[in-house]
Amino acid sequence: MERLFLYDTTLRDGQQTQGVQFSAAEKTEIAQMLDQIGVDYIEGGWPGANPTDSDFFASAPATRATMTAFGMTKRAGRSAENDEVLAGVLNAGTGAVCIVGKTHPFHVREALGITLEENLENIRASVAHLVAQGREALFDAEHFFDGFEDDADYALSCLQAALVAGARWVVLCDTNGGTLPERVGEITRAVIAAGIPGDHLGIHTHDDTGNAVACTLAAVDAGARQIQGTLNGLGERCGNASLTTLIPTLLLKEPYRARLHTGVSPEGLSSLTRISRRLDEILNRAPSRSAPYVGTSAFAHKAGLHASAILKNPATYEHVEPAVIGNERVIPMSNQAGQSNLRARLAEAGIEVSRDDPALARILDVVKMREDQGYAYDGAQASFELLALAELGRMQRFFDVERYRVTVERRRNAIGKRISVSEAVVVVRIGGERMLSVSESMDDEGQDRGPVNALWRSLAKDLGPYQSHIDDMHLVDFRVRITGGGTDAATRVIIDSADGRGNRWSTVGVSPNIVDASFEALVDAIRWKLIRDGVTPA
């Protein structure tokens, strides 16, 4: 089996993603996660280009992977020894250094404004300087594919200059991301045929045509033995080839699984889902549900026919086992569901129902009818469980809401500043007792948190015998969607709640009125919590 090397550039090209700015501490955490996965190289950034990257390299974590500093070839008209950019990169003290250089005559002339021979000399001298300093040198051949189309001999002479000067790897970069997979394969083959060995050849692609992963695989098929990519496909413009997709593909799919091996162990592979989601958490962005292998929908079987077969044998609708990548199977309830989804969902919730219970058909009918009205149960499992318990005649009556009222007032305060104040009154009956709670929605700084928050505070303020069960409960997310249009428009609210025991659950409410929809979801959230805590109704 041949060795394929994985080179991660999340901390460098990934940081070129619009809206992404890592701190040095975040870079350290990400580098440690990459090391757990088992990549061979971690490109930590460009030391000297900005204080964050310099700080990161000043106390870079010890990793099994080779920590790599990134920079560019020296400028013309000065020696490599006197080039301050190269000096900054070398000062990071990493075992490997990757420098980017031009290989397309158009860029040499337009962007650098130097001759083709001067550019070759810059590549040669820069790489030789890195090697003389005892570093493993990599050369990122910028715009290689476009350069090859324009002047193949010149593009190849740039690679040869780097190799002759001692580069361990020359990396073919599809910098603008416009080359399609078949052409990437052909050009990579031509490069190897011209004498550049595949085990010194890397590939670096961008996703501007949605083909970065396919282009990378095409280069590997042609013989390249290093791949560059990023976690979750972060990167300049549309992103880089996603290592989160490439790693499972290389380890689980033929012909790669049988022919190539990487430094990623089965444990590393099974950490991929967790690490992908942790990266999104660091970036404060929602993970892509449909991300291959690691998305929350990657193994979600919504359609009834799929769920039915999955329950008999998961291989019927899954190309790989979700656990291998640390992901899990989900069988959501929705208007696409049949009895198989339903039974699987109920079993997961610990609700036992015999196969021939007529309530199963009723539950399905109610789900489909309510989804037609705007409800969505595939993202609101707790409300689905309450609905099922009601149809099974097992729903307990904890409290009845007699009425509620919310007011939002906009006025000036004592010093003339405009403020808004939301206030809610909720009246509930528990057993024979009538209880009235009033709450304002103010946070610690005196800011109004809105009518839904006021309602929540009021509901949760005094629920008599149940109070101790909801004291540790809080709202963590609130999503609103207008479903339908015109006079039939309804508002769907999904609320995520959590408690001190680590439970997290979602409930849904639908109404033409956003406050009413929110209130329905809030009441469901409390009822679900009381059931989950095994509370007996007063």
Ligand X SMILES: CC(=O)SCCNC(=O)CCNC(=O)[C@H](O)C(C)(C)COP(=O)(O)OP(=O)(O)OC[C@H]1O[C@@H](n2cnc3c(N)ncnc32)[C@H](O)[C@@H]1OP(=O)(O)O
Give the binding site for ligand X (CB under 6 A). 16, 46, 49-50, 72-73, 75, 100-102, 111-112, 142, 175, 236
Q: What is the closest distance, in whole angstroms, from the C-beta atom of residue 13 to ligand CC(=O)C(=O)O in the complex? A: 5
Q: If contact means CB under 5 to 8 A according to the sort of partner, which of ligand CC(=O)C(=O)O, ligand X, none does residue 102 touch?
A: ligand X
Contact 120, 161 (CB under 8 A): yes
Q: What is the closest distance, in whole angstroms, from the C-beta atom of residue 382 to ligand CC(=O)C(=O)O in the complex? A: 45
Alpha-carbon radius of gyration of the chain: 30
Quote the CA–CA distance of 215 and 396 in Å, as a whole number. 57
Nearer to ligand CC(=O)C(=O)O, 200 or 277 (CB): 200
Q: If contact means CB under 5 to 8 A according to the sort of partner, which of ligand X, ligand CC(=O)C(=O)O, none does residue 27 touch?
A: none
The torsion of the CA quartet 289, 292, 296, 298, rounded to 10 degrees, works out to 120
Q: DSSP code of 109?
A: I
Question: Tokens 């005196």 — which residue?
Answer: 446
13: contact with ligand CC(=O)C(=O)O by CB under 6 A: yes
User: Which residue type sits at 342?
Assistant: L
204: contact with ligand CC(=O)C(=O)O by CB under 6 A: yes
Nearer to ligand CC(=O)C(=O)O, 142 or 496 (CB): 142
Q: What is the closest distance, in whole angstroms, from the C-beta atom of residue 214 to ligand X in the complex? A: 20
Q: What is the closest distance, in whole angstroms, from the C-beta atom of residue 334 to ligand CC(=O)C(=O)O in the complex? A: 41
Kindly report the CA angle at 182 between 176 and 184, in degrees rounded to 5? 45
DSSP string, 264-277: --HHHHHTHHHHHH
Cα–Cα distances (Å) from 108 to 149, 172, 381, in that order, read 15, 17, 58
Q: Which of 53, 140, 207, 520 binds ligand CC(=O)C(=O)O (CB under 6 A)?
A: 140
φ and ψ of 529, to 5 deg: -65, -40
Q: If contact means CB under 5 to 8 A according to the sort of partner, which of ligand CC(=O)C(=O)O, ligand X, none does residue 112 touch?
A: ligand X
Nearer to ligand CC(=O)C(=O)O, 124 or 204 (CB): 204
- Going across the sheet that includes 490-498, the strands are 474-483, 490-498, 504-511
6: contact with ligand CC(=O)C(=O)O by CB under 6 A: no
Quote the CA–CA distance of 133 and 126 in Å, as a whole number. 11
Q: Which of 380, 375, 367 is nearest to 477 (CA)?
A: 380
Nearer to ligand X, 228 or 506 (CB): 228
Q: What is the closest distance, in whole angstroms, from the C-beta atom of residue 304 to ligand CC(=O)C(=O)O in the complex? A: 45
φ and ψ of 361, to 5 deg: -65, -40
Binding mask 259-298 for ligand CC(=O)C(=O)O (x = CB under 6 A): ----------------------------------------
Contact 342, 328 (CB under 8 A): no
Question: Tokens 């444990």 — which residue?
Answer: 267
Binding mask 164-183 for ligand CC(=O)C(=O)O (x = CB under 6 A): ---------x-x--------
Q: Which of 299, 301, 276 is nearest to 288 (CA)?
A: 276
Quote the CA–CA distance of 416 and 91 in Å, as a whole number. 58
Q: If contact means CB under 5 to 8 A according to the sort of partner, which of ligand CC(=O)C(=O)O, ligand X, none does residue 204 touch?
A: ligand CC(=O)C(=O)O
φ and ψ of 305, to 5 deg: -65, -40
φ and ψ of 20, to 5 deg: -105, 125
Binding mask 100-129 for ligand CC(=O)C(=O)O (x = CB under 6 A): x-----------------------------
Q: What is the closest distance, in whole angstroms, from the C-beta atom of residue 57 to ligand X in the complex? A: 14
Q: What is the closest distance, in whole angstroms, from the C-beta atom of residue 294 to ligand CC(=O)C(=O)O in the complex? A: 24
Q: If contact means CB under 5 to 8 A according to the sort of partner, which of ligand X, ligand CC(=O)C(=O)O, none does residue 334 touch?
A: none
Q: What is the closest distance, in whole angstroms, from the C-beta atom of residue 50 to ligand X in the complex? A: 6
Q: DSSP code of 240?
A: B
Quote the CA–CA distance of 381 and 377 in Å, as a whole number. 6
* Binding stretches for ligand CC(=O)C(=O)O (CB under 6 A): 13, 100, 140, 142, 173, 175, 204, 206
